[in-house]
Structure 1
């Protein structure tokens, strides 16, 4: 009897120790190796404050917009990846990514500011969920009665899905077979977009080619060698912007070697050029020769009107010039020059402009640099209330308060002509 009781005691103690060891070990297992987390199916998150409402119109800064559009942490943890994907695509500020000097930079900015997108990019099944969404896309599904703005919004929705799939973190979750399925779908969508060039234009092809090119580069060593040898191909696959017809053709040929050569009906193409500061310093720039489609322009105009109702749109959306070009080079609406950083820095590093500081007097129409967000503006006289005029990426030229734009206004430098 005593032996049995001792045996039972030893067994009981062994069980307790085992449980403690399991608990300790579980705390040290990486998240990726943990058992799948049960997710609920309550649907996509419903943002409590949305564009078009009185509550949204009352928001006085971009920071306030960011604050009211974060998803509660507990909700994020319990949300299925499919519902999280819908939440990300419905994020009111997602299309801010078009307001930056490249689509990849814009995506990165949005991702760093929205906790829902950050969480989605960390999900181990993000790729498979998005692939299903992408397979359901039909660029030719545009209905005859759709307005230009509706057509452009459909194009923007496709772009949002493609930019998510273009991210390494998402594609890394796909199996080799899924990668091939994705590649096949990009080819099909590219061909379909070509049939509706009036809606998707050259920029629509760029978005699809970005996904296509990044998939091929990870699978095909010979194409990677081709990329290494060509700066323009490297830059496009890095930024997602400024692909010549030749670059697009190379990507499609690498993705589908048996396919017939593609033509994009683009008669001209963007090219590198040089502009000069007032002190004659050379600045590398891009001469932009193609414009957004009417659908894309209408959709972009509608976006800034809805999301930034306190700002004033002064022009139509345009991909022909950006904030740096407008502020430092040419304020005409016929401007067709795009200047990327660090080109804008040259205007003050060569002495053409002087950074304002006390005890200088205040000057009208000073140039403004958003130091923490690669944006330029012009300060315009408005009494005691600061007011800026700036071009928002491929969005329109806008008149706005310093903190009422897609950019981080926490640190501003002002410059006047030397």
Structure 2
């Protein structure tokens, strides 16, 4: 029911077409994403990602060299509000990198290490609150049945982006008790709504939601997780589980935990 079906596989491949791997992992050619930054970026952003110069030879460049063009000049970065910075980070042209590596956590680390916007976001004390506010506005059920599979995939990927950031312990640690409780309520609601559309949100999509749940529990009440430590250790290395019962269990543990 929640398997990684052919439709989801197509979507992941399409969204990840922004990255082509040649030979070794540190040599990449980045092409314009399927949902290009020109169409996804909001017109009112104070800073927009530059278009890639297709005339340059990219095959000999390292990933650091290729991604450096997207860094925000410090004079501008210092003036950007955290709310605005969240918007900018959400439309980074190469989020598809998180699907290139063996697991999404590694891909996320590569993105953070090579974009000063993400680094600045993790530095700011109000980052988690602003991420949560923006994430809370997304509705998993707001999928238009008239959208193409690619359009549906681009929308569902928005949740993955927020959840990859919100699942970070560094981000969770920025929240006070009230913030943790708000995140608890919001993340459980998102999980329950995702499960209503299994044809859109597969186990792949549910897993990042559960990653947020799990890291809240790791911080607030880790002792109740000991029974599942083996599965948790594997999950934390991959951010993926094919066991729906395990995912449901983690969410239920969070739901019944008084924070």
TM-score, with normalisation over the residues of structure 1? Answer: 0.48
Partners of 1:104 and 1:238 within 8 A in 2:
yes
3-state secondary structure, aligned to 2:202: helix
Partners of 2:211 and 2:236 within 8 A in 1:
yes
Report the CA distance shift for 1:48/1:202 in structure 2 as closer, same or farther (over 3 A).
same
Aligned to 2:20: none
Aligned to 1:245: 244
1:173 Cα deviation (Å)? 1.0
Per-residue deviation, residues 276-331 of structure 1 (Å, max 9, x unmatched):
xxxxxxxxxxxxxxxxxxxxxxxxxxxxxxxxxxxxxxxxxxxxxxxxxxxxxxxx
1:239 Cα deviation (Å)? 3.2
Aligned to 2:58: 60
Q: What is the alpha-carbon distance in structure 2 between the residues aligned to residue 79 and residue 210 of structure 1?
A: 29
1:223 Cα deviation (Å)? 2.0
How many positions carry a matched residue from both structures? Answer: 211
Report the CA distance shift for 1:104/1:44 in structure 2 as closer, same or farther (over 3 A).
farther
Q: What is the alpha-carbon distance in structure 2 between the residues aligned to residue 58 and residue 197 of structure 1?
A: 42
Per-residue deviation, residues 306-362 of structure 1 (Å, max 9, x unmatched):
xxxxxxxxxxxxxxxxxxxxxxxxxxxxxxxxxxxxxxxxxxxxxxxxxxxxxxxxx
- Pick 1 or 2: higher relative contact order, CA cutoff 8 A, min separation 6: 2
Aligned to 1:160: 161
* Structure 2 counterparts to residues 345-356 of structure 1, below 5 A: none
What are structure 1's unaligned runs of at least 5 residues? 1-41, 259-418
Partners of 1:186 and 1:212 within 8 A in 2:
yes
* Structure 2 counterparts to residues 216-365 of structure 1, below 5 A: 216-227=217-228, 230-257=229-256
Report the CA distance shift for 1:48/1:59 in structure 2 as closer, same or farther (over 3 A).
farther
Aligned to 2:51: 49
What are structure 2's unaligned runs of at least 5 residues? 1-43
Report the CA distance shift for 1:231/1:57 in structure 2 as closer, same or farther (over 3 A).
farther
Q: What is the alpha-carbon distance in structure 2 between the residues aligned to residue 246 and residue 81 of structure 1?
A: 37
- Determine which structure has the larger helix proportion and give its number: 2
Partners of 2:68 and 2:115 within 8 A in 1:
no
1:63 Cα deviation (Å)? 4.9
Report the CA distance shift for 1:247/1:177 in structure 2 as closer, same or farther (over 3 A).
same
Q: What is the alpha-carbon distance in structure 1 between the residues aligned to residue 217 and residue 139 of structure 2?
A: 22
* Root-mean-square deviation over aligned CA pairs: 2.0
Per-residue deviation, residues 352-402 of structure 1 (Å, max 9, x unmatched):
xxxxxxxxxxxxxxxxxxxxxxxxxxxxxxxxxxxxxxxxxxxxxxxxxxx
1:57 Cα deviation (Å)? 6.6
TM-score, with normalisation over the residues of structure 2? Answer: 0.76
1:224 Cα deviation (Å)? 3.8
* Structure 2 counterparts to residues 200-219 of structure 1, below 5 A: 200-219=201-220
1:134 Cα deviation (Å)? 1.4
1:118 Cα deviation (Å)? 1.0
Q: Which protein is bigger by CA-based radius of gyration?
A: 1
Aligned to 1:180: 181
Aligned to 2:136: 135
Aligned to 2:118: 117
Partners of 1:236 and 1:243 within 8 A in 2:
no
3-state secondary structure, aligned to 1:197: coil
